[in-house]
Amino acid sequence: MSGDDAATGAEPGAVNLNHPGVEPAIVRLDSVTHEYGGAGRRVVALQDLDLAVGRGELLCLLGASGCGKSTMLNLIAGLEDPTRGAVTRPESGAALMFQDSALFPWLDVTTNVELALRLRGVPRRERQQEARRLLALVRLEDAAKRRVHELSGGMRQRAALARALAQNTEVLLMDEPFAALDAITRDLLHLELLDLWRELGRTIVFVTHNVREAVALGQRVLLLSSRPGRVIGEWHTADVEGHGAQAAGIAADITAALRRELERHA
């Protein structure tokens, strides 16, 4: 039995999108198709996509460049509407975190976080207290008054994470947030993110190109096809030790599936 079969308990290639885990779905995409462009230049980014994300789940999405992963996050966040199909999300919406921290360089770390609280209508005194709490959560309390140019790459992403958490949404969308970091910093942030996820209970949808990262972080890993994007593979990894032999086997299975998809569209 392959790592895929062992992890999912399903037949090879089976995709069970309507059962995200023990918790009910907090996000659903039902028969979603999304297109860009006009007549003669139409690009189908996603096609007939079905997806359910369980409340409190940490879901990782993998796929080649241009497969529609970021488009999917935009749809979940409500930044775009699908061409066809339906997207269901919680009333609190979803916060987005990107590969680029997108911090305002003329503000210090605390003020960057407070800005998200201000947009929520949080009173000034409460904003200061909540910003301090969030910076402590991401281990940045000692850098509270630093400007962006004074921060390392990892510190910038911690600040961006604190700002995303300040939006107080039930769902956190992370679009390759650690891709530009060195391996040691990335591994450290993996551990910190997992600790935060367990402590806060947020639902996280994490997009990555890195198979090892997906297996280390996700309770479940989904592989998207090349454009138009649809889910073509699913691996359940909740009970897999992130750096053990079983994880390595699952990573090898996912890598092989991704390679087949890339060769199919070469």
Same domain assignment for residues 78 and 186: yes
Question: Looking at the domain assignment, is residue 98 inside a domain?
Answer: no
Same domain assignment for residues 39 and 59: yes
Residue with tokens 């000692």: 142
Mean pLDDT, the chain, rounded, equals: 88
Q: What is the pLDDT of residue 243?
A: 66
Give residue-wise pLDDT tens across range 23-47.
689 999 999 999 988 767 888 899 9
Res 194 pLDDT > 60: yes
Question: Looking at the domain assignment, is residue 239 inside a domain?
Answer: yes
What is residue 141's DSSP assignment?
G
CA–CA dist 216, 213 (Å, integer): 5
Question: Looking at the domain assignment, is residue 128 inside a domain?
Answer: yes
Same domain assignment for residues 135 and 57: no
CA–CA dist 63, 171 (Å, integer): 21
Higher pLDDT, 66 or 180: 180
Give residue-wise pLDDT tens across range 72-112.
999 999 999 999 999 999 999 999 999 899 999 999 999 99
Q: What is the pLDDT of residue 226?
A: 85
Same domain assignment for residues 180 and 54: yes
Q: Across the strands, what pairs with 44?
A: 35
> What range defines the domain where residue 117 resides?
103-159
Same domain assignment for residues 201 and 234: yes
What's the structural domain count of the chain? Answer: 2
Its sign, for the CA torsion 241, 246, 247, 250, is negative
Same domain assignment for residues 150 and 62: no
- Asked whether the beta carbons of 45 and 36 are under 8 A apart, the reply is yes
Q: What is the pLDDT of residue 117?
A: 96
Res 17 pLDDT > 90: no
Mean pLDDT of 170-187: 94
Cα 148 to Cα 115, 127, 160, 179, 233: the distances in Å are 15, 20, 11, 19, 39
Same domain assignment for residues 110 and 231: no
Question: Is the full-model pTM beyond 0.85?
Answer: yes
Higher pLDDT, 52 or 239: 52
Its sign, for the CA torsion 60, 58, 6, 3, is positive
Same domain assignment for residues 244 and 122: no
Same domain assignment for residues 71 and 179: yes
CA–CA dist 47, 84 (Å, integer): 9
Question: Looking at the domain assignment, is residue 237 inside a domain?
Answer: yes
Same domain assignment for residues 184 and 245: yes
Contacts of 233 (CB under 8 A, 6+ apart): 4, 13, 15, 222, 223, 254, 257
